[in-house]
Chain A
Amino acid sequence: MASYIAKRLLVIPLLLLVFSIVIFFLIQAPPGDFMTTYSAILAGSGSSMDNEQLNLMRIDYGLDKPMHIQYIRWMGKLLHGDMGLSLLYMLPNTKLIGDRIGLTVLLAFFSFILSWLIAIPAGIYSATHKNSIGDYFFTVINYIGVAIPNFFLALLLMWICYDLWGLNLVGLFSPKYEMAPWSWAKVGDLLSHIWLPSLILALGGSARLTRIMRANLLDELGKPYMITGRAKGMSEWALVMKYPVRLAINPLVSTIGNYIPQLFSGSLVVATVMNLQNIGPLLLQALSMQDMYLSGSILLVYCLLAIIGTILSDMLLVWVDPRIRME
């Protein structure tokens, strides 16, 4: 087990190296650089900067160097935990991302938990009450849950809440707490806001999980050991919960590896729609303003989160399913 984990952990830096090269290539690919955008913004607001000043700033920020030098400089800084300076905010990227990373992970964590809390009971119910009204109800919900793009669901719910109750479901905090330092009251405020975006994110995932759970459980329910259990006089509830459910959950665990990266990805679009302060809207802004080191750092963080998610799920699978551990 220890060697397995060590092997998986050793792959992380290698993967990150590959990703960092691809990401660097992508973020410097658009023609022009931040200075081009910057001068365009200045021109838009009425003031301007001449080319000489812009070029001086380019030299200051190292934007005049050839591509591979820029990459090596970026990597060198990254290895020291320095993600560079956001030209857009004139703040260190580490701080910008650090402020929001917690909320990003928290949102993904909540929606992950929610999707499982919904999917497993729904799957068990659907499988044990096959072709009942409840089963059809869940099937319909699942089809819609998969079909509805999560940002559209967010739009729809925001509209309904606004139209019916005049609520504006934007952001993760009430205005009162937005700028306030962390306190228990602020945590409470966060929890009262975070459930809706989590639920929106969870729905698509739980729809898929419910289908898998239902199908797996149906397979298990037809096996002979169920008859043995009934013959022994076990109660139906204990019988279902103790054996087939445990077996049916294993394939679900193996889907986590793909599901976690998707959660982070999905949260990006929903966060933009609902104006949540996670790294998603920040990335969108950085990309459109060509704040390349900010966008590069955020992309790397996304990749790291995805890799960690995949590895965690592999370990979880090994822990849940002893048969894999033996191999």
Chain B
Amino acid sequence: MTQKKGSSSKQNEFTMIADKENAEEFSSSASEEKVSVASNWKLVWWRYRKNRLAVISLFLLFFVLTIIIFPDFYANQYSEKTNAREAYIPIQKIHFFKDGKVDLWAEKLVGKRNMKTLAMEWVSDPAQSVDVKFFGKGFQWKFLFWNTERHLLVPADASTRIFILGSDRMGRDQWSRLMYATKTSLTVGMVSVLISVLLGVLLGGISGYFGGTADMIIQRLIEILNSVPYVPIWMAMTAALPRNWSSEQRFFAITVILSLLGWTTLGREVRGKFLSIREEDYVLAAELIGCSKFRIIANHMVPTFLSHIIATGTLMIPQMIVNETSLSFLGLGLRPPAISYGVMLQEAQNVKTMAQAPWLMIPGLVVVIAVLMFNLAGDGLRDAADPYSK
């Protein structure tokens, strides 16, 4: 709202362009009216929804958000439940039909030791099946304030285990672990981007708005940080963390470490925006009215490029996820008992294991999918961020 007050002349000019842009979609005069009074965010959304891939990604991301909030619901067993006799069980296929009728069941895998290689070989036994059901009962978890035992997909017989995505070296269920890994990895990605964005806006803002010595110092800082080889420095920083820290402390430290080097791109962008907006009439007007500097920045300047910041931030998340995954994979990021994509991928470190249990690479595929979703949604946002552009 503040922005509309501030740049009404600009608004008119822009809406004309926006009208032309949306001509086919809003041909009637009523909808033209709709465009000219629509808020900035509405215009952004109208443009965003034209990009089908971006909309699909956004929906998927909302779904993923529920995994981040309630991983226990999607998991069907404790993430650390081990059983040496159930190690390296392949993917147990889930079927929806049996003898032409709708019936949910999983293949029963029977292990036999190959007497030549002495390795366990699991084969599906067509004579047997495991009944599974949606929203069945499993281990207890806390949904907000209530204890519940409901899970998305569990075996009907609570004493058996199913391995939707196979099991690892210690007989832990990959599906359940993947849910917790999604929570951890995506949280690291999003929180570190949030910190980077805050740093970027703050330092870029100071640099662009005040100029002078502050600008000089921050610019040099950005230049130095830009010529830093990220991964080695991250490695040195995470290696410097005390070893007796708890998983939570480590998690927080890694998030901060990732964001310390990540803010520079955004800082530059914000600085550029500030430099160009500083000269606008509405900023001068706000100054003349006697607005405080903070108010001008927070209420008048930042909203004009907030959508840009969000778009850039969204595009930074996948980078951070990949960074965390690489670091944890090397053993320098998060460590067990924390579960992240990188920690899970550590199980797949040598070729022989991978050949024996290719499903151990599934966490990597999930990383690719997560990164793709964020990239597609971010690209859509970036294109829609300036609804007045051509």
Contact = CB atoms under 8 A, between A and B. Distances in A.
Interface string A28-47: 01110000000000000000
A144 interface: yes
A310 B225 CA distance: 12
Contacts of A272: 330
Is the contact region of chain B dominated by helix, strand, or loop, or is it mixed?
helix
B23 interface: no
Q: How large is the interface on B (under 10, 10 to 19, 20 to 34, 35 or more residues)?
A: 35 or more
Contacts of B326: 149, 151, 269
Contacts of B37: none
Contact of A29 (B226, B240, B352, B355): B240
A143 B375 CA distance: 8
Contact of B227 (A143, A146, A261, A288): A261
B351 A26 contact: no
A148 B368 contact: yes
Contact of A27 (B236, B332, B368): B236
A152 interface: yes
A168 B231 CA distance: 26
B243 interface: yes
A159 B367 contact: no
A30 B239 contact: yes
B229 A302 contact: yes
B224 interface: yes
Contacts of B345: 152, 155
A27 B241 CA distance: 10
Is the contact region of chain A dominated by helix, strand, or loop, or is it mixed?
helix
Interface string B365-383: 0011101100110000000
Contacts of A15: 224, 227
B227 A299 contact: no
A31 B239 CA distance: 10
A205 to B, nearest CB: 13
Contacts of B352: 162
Nearest to A311: B227
B230 A261 contact: yes
Contacts of A101: none
Contacts of B354: 155, 158-159, 162
Contacts of B243: 30-31
Contact of B242 (A31, A258, A269, A283): A31
Rank and list the top 9 A-B pairs by shortest CB-CB distance, nearest first: A265-B231, A29-B240, A147-B371, A152-B364, A287-B239, A159-B354, A302-B229, A26-B236, A306-B229
Interface of B: 224, 226-233, 235-237, 239-243, 318, 322, 325-326, 329-332, 345, 348-349, 351-352, 354-355, 358, 361, 364, 367-369, 371-372, 375-376
21 contacts: A30-B239, A143-B375, A144-B372, A146-B371, A148-B368, A149-B364, A149-B367, A149-B368, A152-B345, A152-B364, A156-B364, A158-B354, A159-B355, A159-B358, A163-B355, A257-B226, A257-B227, A299-B233, A306-B227, A306-B228, A310-B227
